[in-house]
A and B are shown apart, each in its own frame.
Chain A
Amino acid sequence: MRARRIGALAFALMLTLGPQVAAQERDAYEREREEMVRLIEAYGVRDSATRAAMRAVPRHEFVPRESVGRAYGDYPLPIGYGQTISQPYIVAFMTEILEATSGMKILEVGTGSGYQAAVLGEIGCEVFTVEIFEALATSARQRLERLGYGNVTVRHADGHYGWVEEAPFDAVIVTAAAGHIPPALVEQLRPGGRMVIPVGSVYGVQNLILVEKHSEEDVRTRNLLPVRFVPMLQGLR
């Protein structure tokens, strides 16, 4: 009898407190997101669409379970396969540089967790994103579907070749790069389009390069100042 009473009490508590706990968690993430956006703004990101998207996308859904508590800190986090989810400021800065607006068709090379694609999707862009690691591509696809980003399409492929079938694109965003820019990406960029590409290593400095394609023959770059950089958190070893 006593056990039944305790069980009933627990059930009642679950009914009453459960939603409260969930709501508190949601509030906590909202507060953290708000704080993250405030920091991004302080660092100089002015674009309201970018800030609104960053405020809306649940970044904690894009990090491994063990990193959820640090999801909104201004640093990258490991997501496996030696890859990271970029620090929020970088995501915001690159989005702003792209001048992403609703309806734009964007190619992303390096899906990773899918967070950058989600931010672009939140703005209303049609996003085609390529990931070389199959496991990352699969999990990002499932995550984006679950979160309702129907305007993001994920493909498992080598980003070096871009996405010929969907070209041309209004913008291209590359989230990892070596010392060269794949020619196919420049080719698949629509005249008048922009491409943003970080060059460098996650250790130390990344230079952001903005590529502006005025016509097929007129392609120019701008070497932006080194971006604010914080090394990734532990977990890759």
Chain B
Amino acid sequence: MTITGRPLAIALISASTLAYEILLVRIFAIEQFHHFAYMAIGVAMLGFGAAGTFLALAVPGRERAERWFRWAALLTPVALLASAALVHRVPLDATQLPWDAWAWPRLGLIYLLLAAPFAVGASVVLLGLTLEPDRVGVLYGASFLGAGLGACLALAILWIALPERALASPALAASLGAIASAQLAARRRLASLAAIAGLALAVAALVRPFWRIEVTPYKGLPQVEAFPDAQRVAERASPLGWVVAVDASAFRHAPGLSLLYRGTFPTQTGLFVDGQTAGAVSHWGEAGAGTDMLDWLPSAAPYALGGRDDVLVVGAGGGTEIWNALTHGAAAVTAVELHPELLKLSGWVGEGRSRRGAARVVTATGDARSYVAGSRDKFDLITLSAGVAFGASAAGVYALNEDYLHTAEAYVGYLEHLSDDGVLAVTRWLMVPPRESVRVILTAGEALSRVAPENLIDKLVVVHSWATTTVLVKPSGFRAEETHALMRWARERRFDLDWYPGIEGPATGFNVLEEPVLYRAAAAAIGGEESAERFAAAYPFRVSPVDDARPYPHHFLRAGSLAAFLGSDRGSWLAFAEWGYVALIATLVQSVVLAALLMILPVLARARTMVTGSWLRLVGYFLAIGLAYLMAEVAAIQQLNLLLGHPVYAVAAALVAFLVFSGLGSAWSDGRPGRYGSIAGLILAGMLGCCAALLLGLIHLLVSAPLVLRAIVALLVLAPLAFVMGLPFPLGLRALARDRAQGIAWAWAANGFASVVATPLAALIALEVGSNLLFLCAAAAYAGAALLGRAGAEPLKLAGA
């Protein structure tokens, strides 16, 4: 039992902490916003490093270490449950941190509660490594494999259980780990009983959670549910998001509706994903009463051209754009939606097939980019709607979100799938000053210059309402009668045409902007690459087109502007701040500070005995491989997202492949000489360099291939890479940490802290310079590690050890 007991316990405990991490990201994304989740998780991960520092300083003897191992295993499920329950009892409005001094201690308490289960769980792994130094590879491999299992567990449970209930599942896995560890105890029966009690507690939490998820009142869902007759009519779970449908007579959704619309409104069911407004399902009256409203939405602009028979709706959401196409006489509508639950609730699949017009509608669940790449159809209209709620968009909470639907390559793909007379229509919220709209115009210009570079001036139309901008792109060029029809249509609705073929200059409009920015952007876009670049460079925000290597079309804040914004008074910069980006920088700063405090202070406290050349080499080596691993993982996840066409598939494939194959690599390393670690570092530097140079090109070649083939390619690319990435840690321990107990603990602490810092750092690098350069950064870090761990390097020797 000893042979399998410890690896099994380590695997299950690792599964529980990784599952908890993934579930916390989901829970925080629902309760707050994604970026708060990363801030909290970043600190929670410090628990891993803190455990290493503590054990390096405590230096437990073998007997004590054995006892601590069992205690830590028994405590992990309890810590997981206590953390989930108590974190939800600490009231915190994160937006108040700049002004409310009392918010900071509460934040500190939340961090502590989040870090605790990770620290306890990490202690199990670390003590296991210390207790069996000759099986470091197997035990570390078990930790990797367990973490891979945890990733699968978290993603699987999110499909079948609501997030509130799912949060109990990591404690279940940890309880099983505790039961496995109890078999190693001298008083086996007592330890088993304690472990079973933990299991019972976890089951109880699963049946009736000890906590309640509360969505921040800043989101749309709680505000709509506060309406007098609001009623939640559906609630669905999925790793893609928590979907809720609410009926409320006062809820209405009509983005940018003309001020001159005088008809009736349909009753609507509000759709919310993770508490944010994601659209509405309209219930039209008899004989389609109310559908005339659709023609008064800015997104109806392309129908003013007439002849839009075959329509592709990208991001169908609640189905408004499907109805728009049907109402305007489309003969065939293809609707692609990533979120299957939204599509079901919109009524176009399943029972909804019986609704009027259903025979003309084909739905597809999945990523529109892959769909378009794999489709042989040509469309008269491809339409992308404004999507998420205005507030969230303008506040920059999506700044960190990868979005392959609005890259230059994506727009080229759409244009290539248009019929001879086809039009691409992209509607976005109009921020002030305009940002997203300007980027769409410049991206459209770049895509046009690649697909149909002649006479660009005739191929672009920009129309804005009081709240939205719609950009129309027609590679075959707008005819004069089409332009006139559009002008008439827009004038009747009091929408403004900022750009159209034959425009002579910015006109005084119905919806006045401070400056004619949209006109200038369109003029720059059709003026060629140089003119667009010049315009973008002079614009106060980052608006140049993004590509697949840096797919962040919702990120507009220039890095250099952040200091200026922070330096001004609070009111003036907040309006332009991107909360996601600000939170990312804050996460990086807090991670560096906390990691340094937890790592450096203990060393300084015992400086005379610890800081030696070999200590620095050991810490440097494990910092480097910690940074490199996370950077490579983040870069791979980003690019796999495009290859697999689904963020959940990408995360699942990357996590499982990395963790499982790294685990196998780690297990294989047992019995190999320590100098192999340095060689592995050099091999990895080469492999990651190849990824930077070739992977994205390969993905572009394969994006239209069947999913099975794409998944096989993903596995073939990741498996060897991940296998070799599993080697440097155990081999490094063998080469550099000859003084086992303390050396392993310091290596663990350094590696853990590097992982903490690497998470926001990798996201920042990807955001600023893209995933290819992130691969190169990872390659450089592995090369650095190879130098530090090269043959002949002096193993760690600690004075007094």
- A207 partner residues in chain B, CB cutoff 8 A: 394, 431-432
- B263 partner residues in chain A, CB cutoff 8 A: 183
Identify which of B472-480, B569-577, B741-749 touches chain A.
B569-577
Q: Are A237 and B510 in contact (CB under 8 A)?
A: no
Query: 8 tightest CB-CB pairs across the interface, nearest first?
Result: A201-B391, A204-B395, A228-B571, A203-B218, A226-B575, A231-B95, A236-B217, A221-B466
A-B contact pairs, 20 of them (CB 8 A): A43-B571, A82-B222, A132-B228, A133-B226, A133-B228, A134-B228, A178-B277, A178-B389, A187-B262, A199-B467, A204-B395, A204-B396, A204-B397, A204-B574, A205-B391, A207-B394, A220-B512, A221-B511, A225-B432, A234-B96
| A214 CB, min distance to chain B CBs, angstroms | 11
Residue A186 lies at the interface, judged by CB distance under 8 Å to chain B: yes
What per-residue 1/0 map shows which CB atoms of B509-547 lie under 8 Å from chain A? 111111000000000000000000000000000000000
Residue A217 lies at the interface, judged by CB distance under 8 Å to chain B: yes
| A236 CB, min distance to chain B CBs, angstroms | 4
- A186 partner residues in chain B, CB cutoff 8 A: 259-260
| B226 CB, min distance to chain A CBs, angstroms | 4
Contact of B93 among A89, A227, A237 (CB under 8 A): A237
Residue A222 lies at the interface, judged by CB distance under 8 Å to chain B: yes
A81-B226, A179-B467 are known contacts. Are A230 and B390 too (CB-CB below 8 A)?
Answer: no
- Count contacts on B: residues with CB < 8 A to the other chain: 63
| B317 CB, min distance to chain A CBs, angstroms | 13
- B95 partner residues in chain A, CB cutoff 8 A: 203, 231-232
11 more A-B residue pairs beyond the given contacts A178-B252, A183-B257, A200-B390, with a C-beta to C-beta distance below 8 A: A178-B277, A199-B467, A200-B391, A204-B396, A207-B432, A209-B466, A222-B512, A223-B430, A223-B513, A225-B514, A227-B575
Interfacial residues of chain B within 85-103, with CB under 8 A of chain A in the complex: 91, 93, 95-96, 99-100, 103
- A233 partner residues in chain B, CB cutoff 8 A: 93, 96, 100
Q: Are B217 and A199 in contact (CB under 8 A)?
A: no
- B265 partner residues in chain A, CB cutoff 8 A: 160
- A166 partner residues in chain B, CB cutoff 8 A: none
Residue B612 lies at the interface, judged by CB distance under 8 Å to chain A: no
Residue A180 lies at the interface, judged by CB distance under 8 Å to chain B: yes
Interfacial residues of chain B within 380-425, with CB under 8 A of chain A in the complex: 386, 389-392, 394-397
A89–B572 CA distance with the chains assembled, in angstroms: 13
Contact of A205 among B255, B509, B575 (CB under 8 A): B575
- B572 partner residues in chain A, CB cutoff 8 A: 228
- A63 partner residues in chain B, CB cutoff 8 A: none
- A97 partner residues in chain B, CB cutoff 8 A: none
A180-B253, A203-B218 are known contacts. Are A220 and B431 too (CB-CB below 8 A)?
Answer: no
Q: Are B467 and A234 in contact (CB under 8 A)?
A: no
Residue B261 lies at the interface, judged by CB distance under 8 Å to chain A: yes
**Which of B220, B228, B256 neighbours the largest number of chain A CB atoms within 10 Å of its CB?**
B228
Q: Which residue of A lies closest to B257 (CB)?
A: A180
| A201 CB, min distance to chain B CBs, angstroms | 2
Interfacial residues of chain B within 570-600, with CB under 8 A of chain A in the complex: 570-572, 574-576, 579
A68–B88 CA distance with the chains assembled, in angstroms: 28
A200-B390, A230-B570, A230-B571 are known contacts. Are A237 and B257 too (CB-CB below 8 A)?
Answer: no
Contact of B256 among A179, A222, A226 (CB under 8 A): A179
A81–B226 CA distance with the chains assembled, in angstroms: 6
Q: Footprint of A on B, CB under 8 Å?
A: 91, 93, 95-96, 99-100, 103, 214, 216-220, 222-223, 226-228, 249-250, 252-257, 259-263, 265, 277, 386, 389-392, 394-397, 429-433, 466-467, 494, 509-514, 570-572, 574-576, 579
Residue A62 lies at the interface, judged by CB distance under 8 Å to chain B: no
A43-B571, A201-B389, A229-B574 are known contacts. Are A160 and B252 too (CB-CB below 8 A)?
Answer: yes
Q: Are B256 and A75 in contact (CB under 8 A)?
A: no
| A56 CB, min distance to chain B CBs, angstroms | 24
**Which of B255, B391, B576 neighbours the largest number of chain A CB atoms within 10 Å of its CB?**
B391
| B707 CB, min distance to chain A CBs, angstroms | 35
Q: Are B254 and A203 in contact (CB under 8 A)?
A: no
Q: Are B255 and A179 in contact (CB under 8 A)?
A: yes
A207–B93 CA distance with the chains assembled, in angstroms: 23
Q: Are A231 and B391 in contact (CB under 8 A)?
A: no
Q: Are B262 and A183 in contact (CB under 8 A)?
A: yes
Q: Are B218 and A201 in contact (CB under 8 A)?
A: yes
Contact of B511 among A134, A160, A223 (CB under 8 A): A223
- B510 partner residues in chain A, CB cutoff 8 A: 219-221
Q: Are A231 and B571 in contact (CB under 8 A)?
A: no
| B254 CB, min distance to chain A CBs, angstroms | 4
Q: Which residue of A lies closest to B468 (CB)?
A: A179
Residue A211 lies at the interface, judged by CB distance under 8 Å to chain B: yes
A179-B256, A228-B571, A229-B574 are known contacts. Are A202 and B218 too (CB-CB below 8 A)?
Answer: yes
A186–B30 CA distance with the chains assembled, in angstroms: 36
A209–B432 CA distance with the chains assembled, in angstroms: 11
Q: Which residue of A lies closest to B579 (CB)?
A: A204
Residue A181 lies at the interface, judged by CB distance under 8 Å to chain B: yes
| B683 CB, min distance to chain A CBs, angstroms | 46
Q: Are A237 and B217 in contact (CB under 8 A)?
A: yes
Residue A27 lies at the interface, judged by CB distance under 8 Å to chain B: no
